Chains A and B, each alone.
Chain A
């Protein structure tokens, strides 16, 4: 050891209520700076629609957050902020039910930041078509809470509700 103090990770701070300016400026109305916002997903042949909703401890919708998704096996990264018209965080995700060909992902990593969240929250989304019983990470979660990580079939796609707090609190991970 050199005796020098090792650098420590920069501490996190909340993304605040105006994160759209920096992360999705075209949604925020700060147009003309970037051609398009990063991470916006569009429908493709092999994609499914995934709508995410976020609720606070009083059960009220959280509408000023940003959600990012990452699935390493297919290098899928996406980002969304709240869509006011549909009242959801909209994504098209490349999910194909087990047994079908194409991109099959067993789960998608999720990261949530918002006003009031001092350190970004990591979670995961699993899909009901897959046999998740041998998943090592899901196995660490007590059975009664595993369902908080399971997307629900909804319309022609999926819905995933994130409860930041309360009885149905979503499982968050220290990754």
Chain B
């Protein structure tokens, strides 16, 4: 066991509740028995390391990384940028961020998506990057459209980008979604509302960032990702099995 390298337990009032009947897919896919807690072992405080050689030149450029490289994806051109930090406020460098999203019409390039909106021949919908030493990252993409889904009558997802983040350890592994400031669909969405605390939802809403917008070219949104921090409490002070 790595003494002093213990992650703060995840706040279960801050994360989504597991069993959320209004989001129907959760009903049969969530454990009913309580999770078993234990203090971090070396399996939890370590994780895979990804190198910069992995990242291709266009990997974080979803406007140009798919299809005909002379053409660009259709839709509002945006920068999505921010920092990955931990709960102590420390930057997380070399964090691998993988993103995926629908196109500007709200259609995913996926065989199971049969929404009538068209595919864009120049938009694949995936990107990845590694954070810099200060935890910063940047993607160039198009703003994804809202789309309907079969959860309930007239259910629509707000425009969103999926984020998968590797911090420095397996215990920090996180998948979440980024939403856009001012989207009126956000409060209507049962997936958003699996999160009980409104302040936590706010943390997933990217803010328009005119400082980073490029005149006559692209708008910018800022989205910071916060990963779990280590607990200052030494290992010995944590009751066994909690």
Least Cβ distance of A104 to chain B in Å? 15
Tally chain B residues at the interface, Cβ within 8 Å: 84
Do residues A23 and B98 form an inter-chain contact, with CB atoms below 8 A? yes
In chain B between 2 and 16, which residues have their CB closer than 8 angstroms to a CB of chain A?
Answer: 7, 9-11, 14-16
Kindly list chain A residues whose C-beta atoms are within 8 Å of the C-beta of B226: 7-10
Interface residues on chain A, size class: 35 or more
In chain B between 112 and 129, which residues have their CB closer than 8 angstroms to a CB of chain A?
Answer: 112-113, 124-128
Given A8-B200, A57-B27, A175-B44: A118 touches B38 (CB 8 Å cut-off) = no
Within the complex, which residue of B38, B41, B162, B173 is in contact with A120, where a contact is CB–CB below 8 Å?
A: B173
Interface residues of A (CB under 8 A from B): 6-23, 25, 28-30, 32-35, 38, 56-58, 60, 62, 64, 68, 70-73, 75, 77, 107, 109, 111, 113-122, 124, 136-137, 140-141, 164-165, 169-175
Interface of B is mostly: loop
Do residues A118 and B194 form an inter-chain contact, with CB atoms below 8 A? yes
Given A12-B16, A73-B42, A175-B38: A111 touches B170 (CB 8 Å cut-off) = yes
Any A CB within 8 A of the CB of B231: no
The CA of A62 and the CA of B200, in the complex, are separated in Å by 29
Chain B 46-74 interface mask (CB, 8 Å, partner A; 1/0): 11111000101011000001100000000
- Closest-by-CB residue of B relative to A39 is B48
Least Cβ distance of A61 to chain B in Å? 12
Any A CB within 8 A of the CB of B31: yes
Do residues B203 and A8 form an inter-chain contact, with CB atoms below 8 A? yes
Given A10-B204, A57-B27, A172-B35: A25 touches B126 (CB 8 Å cut-off) = yes
Any A CB within 8 A of the CB of B219: no
Do residues A18 and B112 form an inter-chain contact, with CB atoms below 8 A? yes
- Closest-by-CB residue of A relative to B44 is A175
Any A CB within 8 A of the CB of B182: no
Least Cβ distance of A110 to chain B in Å? 10
Within the complex, which residue of B58, B100, B227 is in contact with A19, where a contact is CB–CB below 8 Å?
A: B100
Do residues A7 and B48 form an inter-chain contact, with CB atoms below 8 A? no
The CA of A168 and the CA of B170, in the complex, are separated in Å by 26
Within the complex, which residue of B14, B29, B225 is in contact with A62, where a contact is CB–CB below 8 Å?
A: B29
- Closest-by-CB residue of A relative to B7 is A175
Do residues B176 and A29 form an inter-chain contact, with CB atoms below 8 A? no
Do residues A119 and B36 form an inter-chain contact, with CB atoms below 8 A? no
Least Cβ distance of A115 to chain B in Å? 5
